[in-house]
Chains A and B, each alone.
Chain A
Amino acid sequence: MKKAFWLAGATILALAQPALAGDTIKIGFVSTFSGPTAVIGNDMRNSFELALDHLGRKMGGKPVEVLYEDDGQKPDVGKQKTEKLIQSDKVDFVVGYIWSNVLLASLKTAVDSKTFLISANAGPSQLAGELCSPYVFSTSWQNDQTPQAVGTYMNQKGVKSVFLIGPNYAAGKDMLAGVKSTFKGQVVGEEYTVWPSQLDFSAELTKAKNSKAESIFVFYPGAAGVQFLNQYAQAGLKQQIPLYTAFTIDELSLPLQKDNAIGVPGAQQWVNDLPFPENKKFVEDYRKKYTGLRPTFYGAQSYDAANLINSAVVAVKGDTSKKDEMKAEMEKANFKSVRGPFKYGNNHIPIQNFYLQDVVKDADGQLSLKTVATIVKDDQDRFHDKCPMKK
């Protein structure tokens, strides 16, 4: 009996061995894993895990350990979890961050401790501008960029006026500002809704309808996007006022939005059908590993984040104390991104293409997103001048 006990103890110790500091690459992953937007966090985790599978679960010859933490979509919780990861778990990287307000709350902890933070989604304007840091990289975009592309597309379509609706938080404000910066027509109205609690948009839709605007632009990520599209269709506006979107229709919301999403254009830096071999591998293996699910842009950005980290760790042969060398390597964006090749600006935000995406029925009869055109090429965010870092 006693012997068995010792054996068990020894086995646990042996198993625990690789977790000792220095022998593993430790990554903290902060995202939303509970509540209505947990599906987004799950997609990011799935993609990150897939990337690790593709890397043989090793970086620079060392095994990788990932600690997933749930921010509950709350800035204070996200900050707390980031502090825990950096201060008590002593991770080499923190990754993830869906929400701009959560990222902004967590940013200082990472920067002050000189821990690399890779944003796999959130791109608040502050991060690209005055709050940019040598220790922060983005594998997504700056919030304004995607709606800017939508604004450009609306100009191409000859739209004369627009009514803007979005949630009242950091990203919502960036998104609406983004459209306004490129859209040449008239902005007839601008409405912000309480985020994330307000789910009924009847008052805003009524205002949009009565404003006589020629079009509506919205930004509603996650379940709110489903609700908005439902209510937009039920109000009979689909036949009256065309809708333009950013981050409102994706592979997670589409199965719920169904036909309501058909004919509603959006812009994105990554679409599942982009013709790069890395992307094909990512999408196919994802669908194989997680049957019934399809990767989203959130996932693609997380997949890229893993590969960006890998490039840095490989460059220093696993010695994560060489921070300057890792930073220099990451600035080269020397990895195969699923969105195709891109460069980093001085503020560590990608300079990249934005595509027009549309909802179509694919070969399996399922609704899916399809690239229709390239709206802008090599687009750089409009805040990089405010970033004190120079190239």
Chain B
Amino acid sequence: MLVLVEQSLNGLQFGLLLFLLAAGLTLVFGIMDFVNLAHGSLYMMGAYFAATFVAWTNSFVLGILMALGATLLLGIALEFIALRHLYGRDHLDQVLATFGLILFFNDAVRLIWGPAGLSLPLPAWLTVPVQIVPGVFYPAYRLSIIVVALAVAALLYIVVMRTRIGMLIRAGASNREMIGALGINIKLLFTLVFGLGAALAGLAGLMQAPILTVQIGMGENILILAFVIIVIGGIGSIRGAFMAAIFVGMIDTLGRAFLPDLLRTVLSSAAASTAAPALSSMLIYLLMAIVLVVRPEGLFPAAKR
């Protein structure tokens, strides 16, 4: 039973991290109707910035805040220089351009930081395991990811659903021309949305950095999961992204945790050990396929236009 609690926490933590990445993607994809494959590169840049700034300032919190700001600025600059010229274009053009950006960022990182990757060491107060219920110790850092991600999710909800700027974002998504005609600077609005998306991706990257290594191409595998999540949750829906991310995180982790033992009851031990990892990584895509068949618009679609 305690194992289940702990594995669920693992799943929750992974899911929330995916949410941060998917939230930025769904904002940009759903609201601005822009396919940004380079979202994973922003995730990588967040991690690289964090590793660099933490090493410079010798302070984990300060370095992370600086990295967050830097990714936000990078996102805004990227939108301003390159991406805003692509809004009216076909999705294929956007895919090509942002795929080019992936290559650009990978090689830029190789030039600046070298091919070997960096590490982002945690401060001592985050490396101790915490007792959450009697008998269950959980790494403090993973717990702090859960807390931060939940806080960001709540904040995002309030900003988008309860503030004027959020109203403008939603309105801009429904009818770009109309809101422009009403005298709102839609270009500036989209720049801000893109910057916010970039900062969220950067936050996901830098929070993942101490668990993984900071390396070139780290955003590419996880970006696929983020796309799966926004498809499952419904494109453009933050709430959908949140629910789907938690689903995917849970399914992935619990699948890895319990599927091998489950399979061992029917298959030989060797066959089960081989099949289980393959099967558990398939579960997510299976879920996506089912969702696409049953509810093509996603589980929690954004309000109809």
Chain A residues 188-230 with CB under 8 Å of chain B are 190-194, 197-200, 202-204, 206-207, 210, 223, 226-227, 230
Contacts of A190 in B (CB 8 A): 269, 273
Instruction: Find out whether the CB atom of A204 lies under 8 angstroms from the CB atom of B256.
Output: yes
Proximity string of chain B (80-123) to chain A, C-beta cutoff 8 Å, 1 when within and 0 when not: 00000000000000000000000000000000000111110110
The minimal Cβ–Cβ distance linking A26 to chain B, given in whole angstroms, is 27
Instruction: Find out whether the CB atom of B142 lies under 8 angstroms from the CB atom of A192.
Output: no
CA distance A66 to B121 in the complex (A): 39
Proximity string of chain B (109-149) to chain A, C-beta cutoff 8 Å, 1 when within and 0 when not: 00000011111011000011100000001010110000000
* Given A230-B210, A233-B127, A36 contacting B215 (CB threshold 8 A): yes
| A258 in contact (CB, < 8 A) | yes
Closest to A230 in B: B211
Instruction: Find out whether the CB atom of A200 lies under 8 angstroms from the CB atom of B139.
Output: no
Contacts of B218 in A (CB 8 A): 36
| B297 in contact (CB, < 8 A) | no
| B266 in contact (CB, < 8 A) | no
The minimal Cβ–Cβ distance linking A233 to chain B, given in whole angstroms, is 7
Instruction: Find out whether the CB atom of B274 lies under 8 angstroms from the CB atom of A168.
Output: yes
| A39 in contact (CB, < 8 A) | yes
Closest to A225 in B: B213
The segment out of B3-11, B34-42, B168-176, B181-189 that lies at the interface is B3-11
Contact partner of A210 (CB less than 8 A), chosen from B3, B10, B213, is: B3
Chain A residues 242-274 with CB under 8 Å of chain B are 252, 255-258
Proximity string of chain B (203-239) to chain A, C-beta cutoff 8 Å, 1 when within and 0 when not: 0000000111101111001000000000000000000
Instruction: Find out whether the CB atom of B211 lies under 8 angstroms from the CB atom of A234.
Output: yes
| B46 in contact (CB, < 8 A) | no
Instruction: Find out whether the CB atom of A173 lies under 8 angstroms from the CB atom of B212.
Output: no
Proximity string of chain A (86-122) to chain B, C-beta cutoff 8 Å, 1 when within and 0 when not: 0000000000000000000000000000000000000
Contact partner of B141 (CB less than 8 A), chosen from A42, A200, A234, A257, is: A234
* Given A204-B256, A234-B122, A39 contacting B137 (CB threshold 8 A): no
CA distance A223 to B6 in the complex (A): 26
The minimal Cβ–Cβ distance linking A295 to chain B, given in whole angstroms, is 14
Closest to B140 in A: A234
CA distance A198 to B218 in the complex (A): 11
| B243 in contact (CB, < 8 A) | no
Please give the number of chain B residues whose Cβ is less than 8 angstroms from any Cβ of chain A in the complex. 43
CA distance A206 to B11 in the complex (A): 12
Instruction: Find out whether the CB atom of A173 lies under 8 angstroms from the CB atom of B253.
Output: no
| B278 in contact (CB, < 8 A) | yes
Contact partner of B277 (CB less than 8 A), chosen from A192, A231, A236, A258, is: A192
| A35 in contact (CB, < 8 A) | yes
Instruction: Find out whether the CB atom of B274 lies under 8 angstroms from the CB atom of A252.
Output: no
Instruction: Find out whether the CB atom of A206 lies under 8 angstroms from the CB atom of B3.
Output: yes
Instruction: Find out whether the CB atom of A206 lies under 8 angstroms from the CB atom of B257.
Output: yes
Contact partner of A236 (CB less than 8 A), chosen from B122, B139, B280, is: B139
Instruction: Find out whether the CB atom of B117 lies under 8 angstroms from the CB atom of A168.
Output: no
The minimal Cβ–Cβ distance linking B103 to chain A, given in whole angstroms, is 11
Instruction: Find out whether the CB atom of B6 lies under 8 angstroms from the CB atom of A193.
Output: no
Closest to A204 in B: B256
| B190 in contact (CB, < 8 A) | no
Instruction: Find out whether the CB atom of A256 lies under 8 angstroms from the CB atom of B139.
Output: no
Contact partner of B276 (CB less than 8 A), chosen from A192, A200, A257, is: A192
CA distance A327 to B119 in the complex (A): 45
Contact partner of B121 (CB less than 8 A), chosen from A39, A42, A231, A258, is: A258
* Given A36-B218, A227-B213, A252-B116, A235 contacting B257 (CB threshold 8 A): no
| A38 in contact (CB, < 8 A) | yes
Contacts of A191 in B (CB 8 A): 260, 273
Instruction: Find out whether the CB atom of A236 lies under 8 angstroms from the CB atom of B141.
Output: no
Contact partner of B257 (CB less than 8 A), chosen from A198, A207, A223, is: A207
15 extra interface residue pairs, beta carbon distance < 8 Å, beyond A36-B215, A191-B260, A197-B221: A36-B117, A36-B213, A36-B217, A168-B278, A194-B277, A194-B281, A203-B7, A223-B117, A226-B117, A234-B139, A234-B141, A234-B210, A235-B129, A236-B139, A258-B121
The 9 closest A-B pairs by CB, nearest first: A236-B129, A202-B10, A256-B119, A203-B257, A203-B256, A168-B277, A234-B139, A36-B215, A226-B213
Interface pairs (29), CB distance under 8 Å: A35-B217, A36-B218, A38-B216, A39-B115, A173-B274, A190-B273, A192-B260, A192-B274, A192-B276, A193-B277, A194-B280, A198-B277, A198-B281, A200-B14, A200-B211, A200-B212, A202-B14, A203-B257, A206-B3, A207-B257, A210-B3, A226-B119, A227-B212, A230-B210, A234-B210, A235-B129, A236-B129, A252-B116, A256-B119
